Amino acid sequence: MQNITEKILKDHLVEGDLNNNRTTIGIKIDQTITQDATGTMAYLEFEAMEIPSIKTDLSVSYIDHNTLQTDFRNMDDHKFLQSAAEKYGLYFSRPGNGICHQIHLERFAKPGKTLLGSDSHTPTGGGVGMFAIGAGGLDVAVAMAGEPFYLKVPDVINIYLTGKLRLMVSAKDVILEVLRRIGVKGGLNKVLEYSGPGVKTLSIPERGTITNMGAETGATTSIFPSDEITKQFLEAQDRGNDWKLLEPDNDARYKKKIEINLSELEPLVALPHSPGNIRKVKEIEGLPIQQVCIGSCTNSSLRDLKSVASILRGNKIDNKISLTISPGSRQVVEHLIESKEMTDLIKSGARVLENTCGPCIGMGQAPSSKAISLRTFNRNFLGRTGTKDAEIYLVSPETAAISALNGKLTDPRSFKGKFEFNMPKKFIINDNMIIPPSKEDNKKIELIRGPNIKPLPPFLPLYEILKGEVLLKVGDNITTDHIMPAGAKILPLRSNIPAISEYVFSVIDPEFPKRALEKKGGFVIGGDDYGQGSSREHAAIAPKYLGVKAIIAKSFARIHLDNLVNFGIVPLIFKDPQDYKLIEVGDNIEIELNDFTFENIKIKNITKNNSISLIHSMSERHIDILKAGGKLPYIKNKQF
């Protein structure tokens, strides 16, 4: 009576009870991935644990987020990451090889295995039947050290697919439909498990698109069965031995079932500034646009770009449109060159960018002022592109390509041209941009540190009474992009906490860092789903550096709550959400943690002379980590 999730978790369980969904379990992690925006911190943290080499089956360090080398900092960090991979026994994917999730799906992902990645879109691996979870870099470092990863026992939601996608309706429209149904926090502490006859009609790249963007629902992960389609994909990647059959039992039980008839789906679009703000394309068709960007870990596969090439073949993009295409990997590029479909892209007027995350992480291609940009990406948060007043709409590759030809948002079903493409039976295998683990004595290998790599800040034990001022009050759905923005200006500071902390909350209040330092820290008040979006732990460690002691919110996103705990910031929840109205910026407050029992916690608002009751959603282990001052001292105390 087991579903796929239960089968994998049972095989990897090292602590806890799977039958109690109110408890926390610890699972063995088989594989890990990091990328360069989060990896530098992860390997500094791994170094601090004083463990000579990784203890996972396989770990990969990817360079894909920040390959713009406008000064020494990015290149210095890349050299540090390569030396860390050599020293600790990781594979290293060099800059320009491609996007971590696309490459991992092609070259490393295995059905039935667990994967932990310091990127929130790690669930892409669920497309081949992996239990793949996004987490903060410190959690990934701890997993590389051989420690279990802890999570709440998730509820498993069955997304039951029937029918078959019609022409010009794609996998992107499937996940947008899921978001339309459950929203950006409907997946919190849940696994979205796909089944039904419609699954057999979806290729692995299509499944990867769906599991990738399941992260926008707040889900722990998303997963598909490993079936004959999976076997064919892995065999085509010359990895047939990695395949195993993995399907739910016929009588598998689920917390809830959501049925989607693929035959009834229409092209969909997410409006600014949330992936959950879904409409049908035909309802707003004709919207004038200025930019189209195709790519990202969601839609940069060979299947997606062959589809785009078919639409653009023999056509020219509108004169007022800037169209960029970011392939997901060198394998994708080599196939497009071999089939001459790269020529179709170039002749249309498209600008083919390096195969990296690029514009999706705000790395170039910022739109013009007040522009409307269509993107095949997974997030359209305010300011993420680098242009705060731009409006970003998320669409499928087919909608993006046809809209680029017309200069306006267009329902792709109106396309009158010939639309066909063929996938190769065997993929081009060229791993010369992946450096395998070194066979040298790692004691002789030195980490290469540039001047931008600063030591980790100290981790001090938690005080029982927290005192200070309310520094900032924000609303619902605050993302990690609000808290710690990305982009070409800020990401080079990722290994320099004092420098990057100067940008905390700069999208909302540019004076926040200065005020926090002047007040010697304090508190932040938040609404629902505080910290949704990216897994970047900088959104916790940089506020910690500024002296933030606690975040009091209506609710928290899963990864961000873990990151706050990992760096010693206390995440507390209003017992009555209406009490959010009773506290304002500038209020002087005290919070007593009651001998660290975290029971009957109250805010004493000294300014307003009132009291507010608080609760929390932390496990006992979370509390132990907080008491130690964070996860690094907690792990070191545990080992030594």
- Told to judge if 139 belongs to the known catalytic residues of this protein, a careful annotator would answer no
The CB-based long-range contact list for 593-598 (8 Å cut-off, 24+ gap) reads 593/462, 593/464, 593/465, 593/466, 594/464, 595/464, 596/462, 596/464, 596/623, 596/626, 596/627, 598/623
- C-alpha span between 630 and 563 (Å, rounded): 9
Catalytic-role residue among 65, 104, 330, 560 = 65
Q: Which of 30, 36, 119, 411 is catalytic?
A: 119
CA distance 615 to 574: 6
Determine the residue type at 576.
D
Q: How far apart, in whole angstroms, are the C-alpha atoms of residue 97 and residue 92?
A: 10
Active site residue 534: yes
Verify whether residue 119 is a known catalytic residue: yes
Q: What are phi and psi for residue 39, nearest 5 degrees?
A: -70, -35
Active-site entry in 30, 64, 242, 304:
64
The 3-class secondary structure across 444-478, one letter per residue, is: HCCCCCCCCCCCCCCCCCCCCEEEEEEEEECCCCC
Helix (H, G, I), strand (E, B) or coil at 12: helix
Per the structure block, which two tokens stand in for 621?
């282990």
207, 375, 379, 482: the catalytic one is 379
How much of the chain is helix, strand and coil, in % rounded to 5?
35, 20, 45
Residue with tokens 């508190």: 523
Distance (Å, whole) CA 9 – CA 113: 10
Largest alpha-carbon pair distance within the chain? 72
Note the helical H segments in 152-249.
Answer: 171-182, 204-213, 228-236
Structural element, H or E, at residue 155: strand 155-162
How far apart, in whole angstroms, are the C-alpha atoms of residue 148 and residue 169?
A: 40
First and final C-alpha spacing in the chain: 42
The whole-angstrom separation of Cα 553 and Cα 144 is 32
Count helices and strands in the chain by DSSP H and E runs: 19, 27
Q: Which of 534, 558, 560, 587 is catalytic?
A: 534
- Measured CA to CA in angstroms, residue 147 lies from 55, 87, 89, 111, 632 at distances of 9, 19, 17, 22, 12
**Active-site residue, selected from the candidate residues 303, 536, 538, 560:** 536
Catalytic (active-site) positions: 64-65, 119, 379, 534, 536
